[in-house]
Amino acid sequence: MNREPEEFGVRLETASAWQLTWQRFRRHKLAVVSLILLGFLYLVVLLADFLATADPNRIDASRAYRPPQPIHLLDDGGFNPHVHPVSGEWDHRIFRRVHRTDPDRRLPVRLLVRGYEYEFLGLFPTSLHLMGVEGEAQALSLLGTDGLGRDLYSRLVHGTRTSLTIGLAGVVLSLVLGVVLGGISGFYGGRVDTLIQRVIEILLSIPTIPLWLGLAAAMPRDWGVLRVYFILTVILSLIGWTRLGREVRGRFLVLRQEDYVLAAELMGAGRASIIRRHLVPAITSHVIATATLALPAMIIAETSLSFLGLGLRPPAISWGILLQGAQQVQVLALRPWLLAPAVPVVAAILAFNFVGDGLRDAADPYSRRT
């Protein structure tokens, strides 16, 4: 007896279930680091315009394909961050644009400078940005520029916003549908169960890619690409809940047979209380696992569909679109900075998976031990 939980000491006595989960989660270091990374990425999502140094859509042919630009921190022994202005011109001998740095002129890089106008969190218009070159935003290109002279860093920040949010509604909707409909099916059984199961079978027989292409063609012409994509993910989530729905139903059917559920019933516990205290906790770890697989899948889907030209299209900005811009072979040799968007894709997907592992273990310590 008492072999295990002593390790938490006395605190455990007063800790709620959430506190316990958090304590267990914290011991999973990789998951904690990943959670911080995801927190950072979603902060970028919220503050994309503020973090951008230049208007991501502003085209300037004379600045095409600039390499990343280092910021010099010191100037004559004092702290004075600055960049040197770069001018690019076409070199007819090597058929390439060459960029010349002017080491004599210094453009100071400041925090909280005025730049292009945007709506802060959609609330009020402002032109304040985290950093930049006052009055000449395009002069700074932290990650270089693309073929149309657009600032890659600013585009990446905006792409992060699109890629990390556009599929969320769909994922959440299919999780909710899966848990609720699967739960009803398994808990009540009988006719409701039969009905839901038939619906699932019908939905499962619909092929998704032709449906996707068909729906995409059927959308009103005057809708923007983002809106079309968003609506498509939502429509597809009406099909995507079926797997989770079946799994939840199966779990509920098994759990209904457990003596401890009968015990609660005979004790006089209400239905809601039985569902909340006995059934739902038993599926949370599974739902978390499903969610943490669905979120990276949503990112991959956007990235790969857009890369192939089936998902988002310019002028929208997303990770997939940015990578599509890096499709040519020359990129590897001459303009490797255009591959930068691959870094957040990989990082985000790994982070979701690690956080998922950590949460699953923390939410349901029992599932590991048996």
Partner 1 sequence: MRPGILLDVRNLTKHFPVRAGPFQRPSGKVQAVTGVSFHLSEGESLSLVGESGCGKTTLARTLLRGYEATAGSAWFRTGEGEVVDLLTLSRRRLKPLRRQMQMVFQDPYSSLNPRMTVQQIIGEPLRIHGEELGIATREARRERVRELLLQVGLRPEAARCYPHAFSGGERQRIGIARTLAARPRLVVADEPVSALDVSVQAQILNLLLELQQRHRIGTLLLTHNLMVVRHVSDRVAVMYLGRIMETAPAETLFTSPGHPYTAALLDAIPRPDPRVRNRSRIKLSGEVPSPRNPPSGCPFHPRCVHARDRCRTELPELEHIVPGRQVRCHLWRELDLKGAATD
Q: Which residues bind partner 1 (CB under 8 A)?
A: 1-5, 12-13, 258-260, 262-269, 273, 277-278, 281-282, 364-366, 369-370
Q: How far is the CB of 196 from partner 1 (least distance, A)?
A: 17
Greatest alpha-carbon pair distance for the chain in Å reads: 89
Rounded distance, CA 58 to CA 50, Å?
16
Nearest to partner 1 of 123, 266 (CB atom): 266
Q: How far is the CB of 363 from partner 1 (least distance, A)?
A: 10
Q: How far is the CB of 361 from partner 1 (least distance, A)?
A: 14
CA distances from 71 to 67, 180, 264, 265, 344 (A): 13, 53, 66, 68, 22
Cβ neighbours of residue 301 under 8 Å, at least 6 residues apart?
167, 311
CA distances from 3 to 6, 8, 37, 367 (A): 7, 12, 36, 18
Nearest to partner 1 of 199, 282 (CB atom): 282
Q: Nearest-CA neighbor of 351 among 47, 45, 40?
A: 40
Nearest to partner 1 of 262, 332 (CB atom): 262
Q: How far is the CB of 229 from partner 1 (least distance, A)?
A: 39
Nearest to partner 1 of 211, 282 (CB atom): 282
Nearest to partner 1 of 1, 346 (CB atom): 1
Q: How far is the CB of 243 from partner 1 (least distance, A)?
A: 24
φ/ψ region of 48 (left if φ > 0, alpha if ψ in -120 to 50, else beta) reads: alpha
Q: Nearest-CA neighbor of 34 among 291, 297, 318, 346?
A: 346
Nearest to partner 1 of 6, 76 (CB atom): 6
Q: Roughly what angle, to the nearest 10 degrees, separates helices 17-26 and 29-46?
A: 100
Nearest to partner 1 of 205, 370 (CB atom): 370
Q: How far is the CB of 285 from partner 1 (least distance, A)?
A: 10
Q: Where are the beta strands (DSSP E) in the chain?
A: 72-75, 78-83, 86-91, 96-101, 107-120, 124-133
Cβ proximity of 304 and 291 under 8 Å:
no
Q: How far is the CB of 241 from partner 1 (least distance, A)?
A: 25
Rounded distance, CA 293 to CA 75, Å?
49
Provide the token pair at 54: 């230049």
Nearest to partner 1 of 273, 328 (CB atom): 273
